[in-house]
Amino acid sequence: MQPLIRTNDLMDRLGREPRPTVLDVRWSLLGPPGRQDYERGHLPGAVFVDLDTELAAPPGPAGRHPLPDPEALEAVLRRAGVDQDRPVVVYDADNGSAAARAWWLLRWAGHREVAVLDGGYAAWLDAGLTTEVAVPSPAPGDLRVRPGSMPVLDADAAAELAREGSLLDARAPERYRGEVEPVDPRPGHVPGAVNAPFAEHVDERGRWRSPADLAARFADLGVRPGEPVGAYCGSGITASSVVLALEHAGVTSADRPAPLYAGSWSHWSADPARPAATGRERG
């Protein structure tokens, strides 16, 4: 399954078996909670999954959105009706930056048939397709979480990748440069990391750019097919969309995905012994 699916393709898939499980993971860094949007309207049959409390462990030494406990994640996904052998489609409000976290976690858990809805809920509305407010009660799923199916970096490995390959920082340029830091202990970026803002993966409507456009963008950032590349962000959310974008662009593949620094800047910056670079250039 390709990492992205368009609205018309999803509509077609929903009309035949195996009908994909659809998860709504709308979320934003500073709120309000995504469940409020879900309750006002969602895709037919979609189940809401909370990114803060269900797709992450509680904040702590490992960062603001640590990887969830595998057993807890399995329980969440089974309650949402996720089966081992049934495709899953995840969506957020528009640009896929939150949905990519669910995509990445499902892949990390061993599920290979997962896609992000291109353009999210906004694209579904733009297409004039049906929505609903009723909250479904899906039959329990049978997914067995097998953690480790996607590669993960710790702080030392992230630092090494920044020196010897390409470590892409998905945050907004002003956060990368250290000009502002709204949530984490201190500003800056991992020395040697390259800024690759997640917002540039999509156009002004939140639709993903073509593989050729993304491949050219990554090439401009110094990323080369076959060479080491990984991603991080503030807390491991939007960096998941970098992992997806690299795969969509053909720079990496489903069999050889880019690793994610799951703790990201929220983990790195919490240790004063770790250096923080600032400014525009790779430092």
Catalytic residues, by residue number, are 233
3-state secondary structure of 104: helix
Ranges assigned E (strand) in 50-205: 88-91, 114-117, 152-153, 166-169, 194-195
Burial of 99 (C-beta count, 10 Å sphere; 0-12/13-18/19+)? buried
Four-point Cα dihedral 35, 39, 43, 45, nearest 10: 90
3-state secondary structure of 156: helix
Burial 5-24 (b: 16+ CB within 10 A, else e): bbbeebeebbeeeeebbbbb
DSSP assignment letter at 19: P
